[in-house]
Amino acid sequence: MRLLKILQRLLAALPVALGVAVLAFLFLRFLPGDPVEIMLGDTQVSKQQIAELRHQLNLDQPIGAQLIHFFGQLAHGQLGTSIVKDESVTKLIGNALPATIELTFATVVVALLIALPVGILSAIHQGSWLDRAVLSGALLGISMPSFWFGLLLILFFAVEVHLLPTSGRISSTLLVDRRTGFMLVDTLLAGDPRAFVDAVKHLVLPALTLGVVFAAVLARVVRSSMIEALHRQYVTTARAKGVREAGVIVKHALRNALIPAVTVAGLQIGELLGGNMIVETIFAWPGVGRLVVNSIFARDYVVVQGAVMLYAITYVAVNLLVDVIYTFLNPRIVL
Amino acid sequence: MRPWKWLVILVLALLVGVASAKKLSFVLDTTDNRADEAQAIASQLQQIGVDVQVRVWKSGVLLDAIKAGSRQAYTTDWGSAYFDPFDLGIPKLTTGGRGNYSFYSNPQVDEDFQVASTTTSDAPRAAAYKDAQKRISSDAPWIFGYVLKNIEASSSSVRGWQPAADNAESMAAASVQGGNAMVIGMRTDQIITFDPAMYRDRDTEAVLRNMFDSLVTHTPSGDVVPQLATSWTKVDDKTYDFTLHSGVTFQNGDPLTADDVVYTFHRILTPGAVNGDTSPRAGLLGPIDHVEKIDATHVRFVYKDPFPESLLLQALVHFQIVPMAYMEKVGVEGFKKAPIGSGPFQFERGSLDSQIVLKRFDNYWAGPAKLSQVVFRMMPEPSTRVAALLSGEVQIIQAVPPDLVPRLQSAPNIDVKTAEGTRAYQIELNNKLAPFNDVRVRQALNLAVDWNSILKNIYHGYAERLPTAFLPSGFGYDSSLQPYPYDPARAKELLLQAGYDGK
């Protein structure tokens, strides 16, 4: 039953993705700027050569015809070929996506490790110095610009104490063959523990940069929903029954308090999976965010369309996952 | 007519003149990277009574509006790869030229450019360019700007390397004291391809030129020297013959012959020849017809129209020779996965968007390189590149922003090096639209900007003023021509003549 519902929801995501792709298609073409002009840059090219290139890229067709062409390709399972880069969109996104997913995963780990204990503790000790420290810390975390925080981390951990690398995903001396695109997995598949450790080290700073902001948002939600849960009658009942305090907090209060936290985390993860252009640029992390933003500047319509479809599907999938998690946290919720 | 009538007319004329005299005001469009500069110019023009409203845009957004002729003044830049005005002055200032955003038109300048791009001997070309520079200087179609230096930095253990004006990073003669691997922090977030027919940008070329050789190459200062070609002769105005080095092999052991050279250019010049795609590089070769084999070590370049030898040579620097047999065997996709060239380094592993590891090609025809490994790491954020150089992770970094230079200079064991830039920065004026259809107004603006203080404060001295649209590194540069001096009094005078009294 649940599986069927999940399938239904997934199928419903397809028209959303298509609709979003069409919107992206139209919006991009209303942006001023000609991809061929931008691509050719400052070179001495004849008007005829420009016209030829535009024809080859299908850009001399009316928008309607371009849209039909786009759907024709899509029906063949193709997202098209990048205008600027010598590669298919599927491959470009496929190359960049694992890097972004890996960073998202590490970011979530960092965020949960910080946010859960901090949020719970400050809810239990509401109004204490710890609680106040957490609240102001969270405010700082949310307000801190990530490019600034990321550079500070690089300057301290890489340049001053030489503990971690500045950027990239792995040292050039330990580069392993690409199989899955996930550096943590590829290094393990290659049976190279040294490379694995190296890949983890490369993950730490970007994950910390993104994770601290994420944790700040999440800790506040965990704290406030925990405070609310701890004042509910079922908690009083549990305590009256003589359940140990740890049991009260984890089993009775936390489980219910997690529902808003999961919602917020889901939204954040959806955003992270889109890739963070700033953090990916600072840490030379070859992810989706950088690919998409650079493609927008280059008016590389084809890549942006593909990425926007990916974003739509990601958001729908993450929301679905959030709904599924609800049903585990509170069995009274149905899909 | 009686004298008093003349007096009345004179008084009336004066009154009309005063009434029509007005304040010059215009909108200056700029992009975020030059917003500070535009503001500084606006406040300098304010001092001679000119109102400038600065508007900041994202790059690329305005181009359509500029080309439609609906903007007044705009900061622009244009790069040149030729060390010749062929792809700078000519596209920017020929009537109807591809980059002529100022709508400048001077038939005599057009004629000079025509001579310079079709005459094949140097002396008349240089004379034509010099004549054009004088005319352009006095026509003042733009507020002429500057060229930024190309600033790079290296660990002081690096030997045999210099930044190059064309952003090449030649590792053939480079070495590192106490090591045999070099890591270069690249300014881009990704290079485009490993297929030498399918890119247009300099960053891709910087990597490819270490893996592939060309017929000729540049020294860091831009002089053309032989590489795979030992010599060349001009047969006539439309025909050039090249003699190839014999005994050159590709990294897979195949010999490099005239067939490979002809194949390389055929792929680029024939529409649809790269897996159905057309190479975006054909335009770099000018009005070429075809390239043909004479014998195993001789090839001939045949042009449709007369084409200068120096331009052909400058262009050939940028065309890397690919192995025909290997490309045909593995196909374009296979080639991109395992590229083979005849250069000093060969592809080992890596990807276009993160890092590319090259290893020494031991049978390189000019003798093996000193380094055993070269790594190009994509590091688009300048602060990260600087941090990586300071931490010792990389040995060379590209594109150091001028404001980060002092940080590097204060660090021990780091050298900051510069090469002459090849990109001209200026403010273009719409010559078709009032007020800039009046040459006096354009000249006045050139006199009213104190570039020396702007370049010193914003670019920390890593910029050089340009008298016109021609680069000092380019062919036919007139070094006797001076930039407009900073002379606000003269500027005010010219504006007054043009009917603007600044009140």
Q: pLDDT tens digits for B224-250? A: 999 999 999 999 999 999 999 999 999
pLDDT value at residue B2: 60
Tokens 């010059």 belong to residue: B24
Which residues in chain B have Cβ-Cβ distances shorter than 8 Å to A173? 181
Show which of residues 70-109 on chain B sit within 8 Å of chain A, judged by CB atoms.
78-81, 86-88, 90-91, 98-99
| Other Cβ atoms within 10 Å of A86 Cβ, number | 21
Rounded CA gap, B403 and B409, in Å? 11
Contact yes or no for A297/A13 (Cβ under 8 A): no
Which among A38, A54, A172, A285 is the top mutation candidate for probing chain B, defined by the most B β-carbons within 10 Å of its own β-carbon? A172
Give the start-to-end residue ranges of the domains of chain B: 3-147+422-497, 150-193+343-419, 213-340
Which residues in chain A have Cβ-Cβ distances shorter than 8 Å to B61? 31-33
Which residues in chain A have Cβ-Cβ distances shorter than 8 Å to B286? 44
What the block records as the tokens of B236 is 């006539």
Rounded CA gap, B470 and B85, in Å? 6
Å from B229 to nearest chain A CA? 25
What is the rounded average pLDDT of the residues B413-428?
Answer: 94
pLDDT value at residue B238: 94
Query: What SS3 class is residue B494?
Result: helix
Q: In terms of CA atoms, which chain B residue is nearest residue A28?
A: B61
Q: Which numeric CATH code is attached to B150-193+343-419?
A: 3.40.190.10
Q: In terms of CA atoms, which chain B residue is nearest residue A181?
A: B351
Interface contact A282-B381, CB threshold 8 A: yes
Which of B190, B200, B375 is nearest residue A172 as measured by Cβ atoms? B375
Give the model's confidence band at B17: pLDDT under 50 very low, under 70 low, under 90 confident, else very high: low
Contact yes or no for B165/B422 (Cβ under 8 A): yes
pTM, to two decimals: 0.90
Interface contact B189-A85, CB threshold 8 A: no
* Crossing angle of the two packed helices B439-448 and B122-139, in degrees rounded to 10: 90
For chain A, say whether B209 makes contact (Cβ under 8 Å): no
Give the model's confidence band at B15: pLDDT under 50 very low, under 70 low, under 90 confident, else very high: low
Q: pLDDT tens digits for B338-349? A: 999 999 999 999
Which among B205, B348, B353, B377 is the top mutation candidate for probing chain A, defined by the most A β-carbons within 10 Å of its own β-carbon? B353
Find, among B174, B214, B212, B220, the residue nearest to B193 by Cα.
Answer: B212
Percent of residues, chain A, with pLDDT higher than 90: 42
Q: In terms of CA atoms, which chain B residue is nearest residue A284?
A: B379
Amino acid at B137: S
pLDDT value at residue B309: 92
With vertex at residue B240, the alpha carbon angle to CA B238 and CA B242, rounded to the nearest 5 degrees, is 165
Å from B62 to nearest chain A CA? 7
Distances (CA, A) of B313 to A161, A252, B91, B166, B203: 50, 79, 19, 15, 21
Q: In terms of CA atoms, which chain A residue is nearest residue B186?
A: A284
* Crossing angle of the two packed helices A255-273 and A89-124, in degrees rounded to 10: 150
For chain B, say whether A48 makes contact (Cβ under 8 Å): no
For chain B, say whether A34 makes contact (Cβ under 8 Å): yes
Give the model's confidence band at B163: pLDDT under 50 very low, under 70 low, under 90 confident, else very high: very high
Q: In terms of CA atoms, which chain B residue is nearest residue A279?
A: B381
Interface contact A299-B60, CB threshold 8 A: yes
State yes or no: pLDDT of A61 exceeds 90: no
For B346, the enclosing helix (H) or strand (E) is strand B345-350
For chain B, say whether A53 makes contact (Cβ under 8 Å): yes
- Same topology between domain B3-147+422-497 and domain B213-340: no
CATH topology of domain B213-340: Dipeptide-binding Protein; domain 1 (3.90.76)
State yes or no: pLDDT of A78 exceeds 90: no
Interface contact A45-B98, CB threshold 8 A: yes
What is the rounded average pLDDT of the residues B429-434?
Answer: 94
What is the rounded average pLDDT of the residues B159-175?
Answer: 93
CATH for A89-174+206-329, options being 3.40.50.150, 3.40.50.1100, 1.10.10.1400, 1.10.3720.10: 1.10.3720.10
Interface contact A154-B387, CB threshold 8 A: yes
For chain A, say whether B192 makes contact (Cβ under 8 Å): yes
pLDDT value at residue A222: 94
Q: Is the peptide bond preceding residue B435 cis, with omega within 30 degrees of 0?
A: yes
What is the rounded average pLDDT of the residues B324-341?
Answer: 96
Find, among B33, B49, B42, B103, the residue nearest to B71 by Cα.
Answer: B103
Query: Residues near B40 by Cβ (< 8 Å), separated by ≥ 6?
Result: B453, B454, B457, B458
Q: pLDDT tens digits for B458-472? A: 999 899 999 999 999
Please name every residue paired with B500 in a beta bridge, in sequence order, or none if there are none: B22
Q: In terms of CA atoms, which chain A residue is nearest residue B389?
A: A159
Number of Cβ pairs < 8 A linking chain A and chain B: 150
pLDDT value at residue B427: 97
For chain B, say whether A96 makes contact (Cβ under 8 Å): yes
Q: pLDDT tens digits for A143-179? A: 888 889 999 999 999 999 999 999 999 998 888 888 8
Architecture, CATH, for domain B3-147+422-497? 3-Layer(aba) Sandwich (3.40)
Which residues in chain B have Cβ-Cβ distances shorter than 8 Å to A35? none
Q: pLDDT tens digits for A108-151? A: 999 999 999 999 999 999 889 999 999 999 998 888 888 899 99
Show which of residues 134-193 on chain A sit within 8 Å of chain B, judged by CB atoms.
151, 154-155, 158-159, 162, 165-169, 172-173, 175, 177-178
Å from B79 to nearest chain A CA? 6
Interface contact A85-B378, CB threshold 8 A: no
Q: pLDDT tens digits for B265-301? A: 999 999 889 988 888 888 889 899 999 999 999 999 9
Give the start-to-end residue ranges of the domains of chain A: 13-75, 89-174+206-329
Interface contact B387-A297, CB threshold 8 A: no
Rounded CA gap, B136 and A195, in Å? 60
Which among A28, A31, A36, A42 is the top mutation candidate for probing chain B, defined by the most B β-carbons within 10 Å of its own β-carbon? A42
Q: In terms of CA atoms, which chain B residue is nearest residue A291?
A: B189
For chain B, the average pLDDT equals 92
Buried b (16+ CB within 10 A) or exposed e, A112-137: bebbbebbbbbbbeeeeeebeebeeb
